[in-house]
């Protein structure tokens, strides 16, 4: 069975095949870098990572581009509040995003273009739209896209624009629009923009948000590419507007598959900065949950289902990750380096079958846990051979190339702390129990447990996450 993905554009699952038969070109909408991203944002970024990892599992090469939105109203307001320049503020939060992404084992995109490095590309695209009469200039020097000029406007989101235009309010700075639904491609400079401005053929100002994704996706992936993804909140108007801009400029398809992931909720409401109901990765790590458990929670439900952030779900995710990691340790004890070899076990077929069905990861995980249970029983009764253990590790690692939660979370420790672990080992051999306990207590106070195994001491996080949310 080939991979089927639910395409928002057609509203149904479709068989996936890359346009050029070998490299899958993916664009996803990235973070707006005005604050530390919350784990709701990471549900979306992890979804993009899952798509990409699974396509690689199937043997495709992937070229992934994700934009960094480093200019918009929220960013300008934040620069004022924090008394920082645009680049100071956005560099700080871009670094925060990348640090959290790496801790969740997100394989960073091949290209992470920032909007402010591509203003000329956006201006070129806007010029083409004006030349082809899809866009117009207003008296204040702003440029708007004329949605009435694109007959397919609304197709992605199934929105009836004639209904919308009668209810939509016109904001103060957007007088002059021919239709209240027309959206800004270029925004003329205003007092509150301060020093944040770029020159353009229409005077100083800055680009609208939508044009950045059209300009940067087509620059790096070509005028037609395979997959565009984002959270469901981006279907309208952002992705609808991207289609309008790109198709009108090039007369080409633009994107073959549109994939959208559902939201992460807190008590039934979307996690968002504006509702103040958000948690960051650091918030959850400080409460004792591991990055792998957070990753598992955010990726192990079907991407088109909503997920509620609850303590119960976090604990279940921690337990699932522990089961995976304990299983791998048990296999490692039995395997030797020469017994490691690739094997095509039925569990891999079942994993592939479930994932090929629009990335049905919940079902795929169920099959993998059935297999783990069966193998654990064999280990318990000393029936698992070295050869089997070696090939099973390879199978588990193949699955982990997609889910990325099995290889241990390695706690970050300093060089002095690494020396302390060796010192404790020595103290134990010399039966200096008070020093050994002192070192154990030091690590406990930092939230780690030292576990003595026949293969040496392992440092583990001491909690499965027990603090209240």
User: Where along the sequence are the contacts to ligand AMP (CB under 6 A)?
Assistant: 29, 31-32, 40-41, 43-44, 69, 230-231, 233-234, 263-264, 270-272
Q: Judged by CB, which is closer to Zn ion: 44, or 213? A: 213
Q: Which residues pair with 23 in a beta bridge?
A: 61
Contact segment (CB under 5 A) with Zn ion among 88-96, 136-144, 208-216, 440-448 equals 208-216
Smallest gap from Cβ 243 to ligand AMP, in A, equals 16
Q: Does 44 bind Zn ion (CB under 5 A)?
A: no
Q: DSSP labels for 46-78?
A: HHHHHHHHHHHHTT-EEEEEE-BB--SHHHHHH
Smallest gap from Cβ 90 to ligand AMP, in A, equals 12
Residue with nearest beta carbon to ligand AMP:
231
User: Among residues 11, 6, 122, 104, which one has the least CA distance to residue 49?
Assistant: 104
Instruction: Give the Cα separation of 269 and 272 in Å (integer).
Output: 9
Q: Judged by CB, which is closer to Zn ion: 206, or 440? A: 206
Q: Judged by CB, which is closer to ligand AMP: 37, or 390? A: 37
For residue 117, give the 3-state DSSP assignment.
helix
Q: For Zn ion, which residue of 75, 79, 119, 213 counts as binding (CB under 5 A)?
A: 213
Q: Judged by CB, which is closer to ligand AMP: 99, or 377? A: 99
Q: Judged by CB, which is closer to ligand AMP: 69, or 300? A: 69
Which one of Zn ion, ligand AMP, none interacts with residue 271, CB within 5 to 8 A by kind?
ligand AMP
Instruction: Give the Cα separation of 30 and 365 in Å (integer).
Output: 27
Binding mask 14-43 for Zn ion (x = CB under 5 A): ---------------x--------------
Which one of Zn ion, ligand AMP, none interacts with residue 44, CB within 5 to 8 A by kind?
ligand AMP
Q: Does 235 bind Zn ion (CB under 5 A)?
A: no
Could you tell me the two tokens for 18?
């890359």
In the chain, what is the straight-line distance between the N-terminal and C-terminal CA atoms, in Å?
Answer: 42
For residue 304, give the 3-state DSSP assignment.
coil
Q: Judged by CB, which is closer to Zn ion: 65, or 365? A: 65
Could you tell me the two tokens for 386?
């070295």
Q: Is 359 in contact with 409 (CB distance < 8 Å)?
A: no
Q: Does 115 bind Zn ion (CB under 5 A)?
A: no
Smallest gap from Cβ 213 to Zn ion, in A, equals 3
Which one of ligand AMP, Zn ion, none interacts with residue 46, CB within 5 to 8 A by kind?
none
Q: Judged by CB, which is closer to Zn ion: 69, or 138? A: 69
User: Among residues 324, 352, 293, which one has the least CA distance to residue 3?
Assistant: 352
Q: Does 261 bind Zn ion (CB under 5 A)?
A: no
Which one of Zn ion, ligand AMP, none interacts with residue 270, CB within 5 to 8 A by kind?
ligand AMP
Give the helix/strand (H/E) hosting 93.
Answer: helix 86-103
Which one of Zn ion, ligand AMP, none interacts with residue 40, CB within 5 to 8 A by kind?
ligand AMP
Q: Is 64 in contact with 48 (CB distance < 8 Å)?
A: yes
How many CB atoms neighbour CB 69 within 10 A? 20
Which one of Zn ion, ligand AMP, none interacts with residue 213, CB within 5 to 8 A by kind?
Zn ion
Q: DSSP labels for 385-439?
A: -HHHHHHHHHHHHHHHHHH---SPP-----HHHHHHHHHHHHHHHTT-HHHHHHH
Could you tell me the two tokens for 293?
């458990």
Pairing assessment for the beta strands 264-266 and 307-308 based on DSSP bridges: parallel
Q: How many residues bind Zn ion (CB under 5 A)?
A: 2
Q: Judged by CB, which is closer to Zn ion: 65, or 213? A: 213
Q: Is 369 in contact with 300 (CB distance < 8 Å)?
A: no
User: Among residues 395, 277, 288, which one has the least CA distance to residue 343?
Assistant: 395
Instruction: Give the Cα separation of 263 and 265 in Å (integer).
Output: 6
Smallest gap from Cβ 30 to Zn ion, in A, equals 8
Q: Which residues pair with 266 in a beta bridge?
A: 269
Instruction: Give the Cα separation of 200 and 207 in Å (integer).
Output: 10
Contact segment (CB under 5 A) with Zn ion among 153-161, 172-180, 211-219, 406-414 equals 211-219
Which one of Zn ion, ligand AMP, none interacts with residue 208, CB within 5 to 8 A by kind?
none
Q: Judged by CB, which is closer to Zn ion: 110, or 417? A: 110
Binding mask 138-157 for Zn ion (x = CB under 5 A): --------------------
List contacts with Zn ion (CB under 5 A).
29, 213
């Amino acid at each position: 069975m080939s991979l089927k993905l639910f395409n928002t554009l057609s509203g149904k699952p479709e068989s996936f095949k890359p346009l050029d038969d070998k490299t899958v070109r993916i664009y996803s909408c990235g973070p707006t870098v005005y604050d530390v991203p919350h784990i709701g944002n990471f549900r979306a970024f992890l979804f993009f990572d899952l798509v990409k990892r699974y396509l690689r599992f199937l043997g495709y090469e992937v070229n992934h581009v994700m934009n960094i939105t480093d200019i918009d109203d929220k960013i300008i307001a934040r620069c004022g509040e924090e008394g920082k320049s645009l680049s100071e503020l956005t560099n700080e939060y871009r670094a925060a995003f990348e640090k959290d992404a790496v801790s969740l084992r997100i394989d960073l995109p091949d290209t992470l273009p920032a909007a402010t490095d591509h203003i000329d590309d956006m201006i070129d695209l806007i010029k083409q739209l004006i030349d082809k009469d899809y866009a117009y200039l207003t008296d204040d020097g702003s440029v708007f896209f004329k949605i009435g000029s694109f007959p397919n406007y609304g197709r992605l989101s199934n929105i009836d624009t004639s209904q919308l235009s009668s209810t939509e309010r016109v904001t103060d700075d957007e007088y002059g629009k021919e239709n209240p639904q027309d959206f800004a491609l270029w925004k003329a400079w205003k007092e509150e923009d301060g020093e944040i401005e770029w020159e353009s053929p229409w005077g100083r100002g800055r680009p609208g948000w939508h044009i950045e994704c059209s300009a940067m996706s087509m620059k790096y992936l070509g005028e037609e590419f395979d997959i565009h993804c984002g959270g469901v909140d981006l279907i309208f108007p952002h992705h609808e507007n991207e289609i309008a801009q790109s198709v009108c400029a090039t007369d080409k398809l633009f994107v073959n598959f549109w994939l959208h992931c559902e939201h992460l909720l807190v008590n039934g409401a979307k996690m968002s900065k504006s509702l103040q109901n958000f948690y960051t990765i650091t918030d959850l790590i400080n409460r004792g949950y591991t990055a792998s458990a957070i990753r598992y929670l955010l990726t192990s439900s079907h991407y088109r289902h909503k997920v509620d952030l609850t303590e119960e779900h976090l604990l279940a995710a921690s337990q699932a990750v522990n089961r995976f990691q304990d299983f791998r340790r048990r296999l490692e004890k039995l395997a030797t380096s020469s017994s490691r070899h690739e094997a095509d076990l039925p569990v891999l077929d079942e994993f592939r079958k479930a994932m090929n069905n629009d990335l049905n990861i919940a079902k795929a995980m169920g099959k993998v846990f059935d297999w783990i249970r069966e193998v654990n029983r064999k280990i318990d009764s000393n029936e698992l051979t070295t050869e089997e253990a070696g090939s099973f590790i390879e199978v588990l690692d193949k699955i982990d190339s997609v889910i990325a939660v099995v290889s241990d979370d390695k706690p970050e420790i300093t060089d002095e702390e690494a020396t302390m672990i060796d010192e404790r080992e020595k103290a134990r051999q010399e039966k200096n129990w008070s020093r050994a306990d002192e070192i154990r207590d030091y690590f406990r106070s930092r939230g780690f447990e030292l576990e003595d195994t026949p293969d040496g001491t392992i440092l583990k996080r001491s909690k499965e996450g027990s603090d209240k949310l």
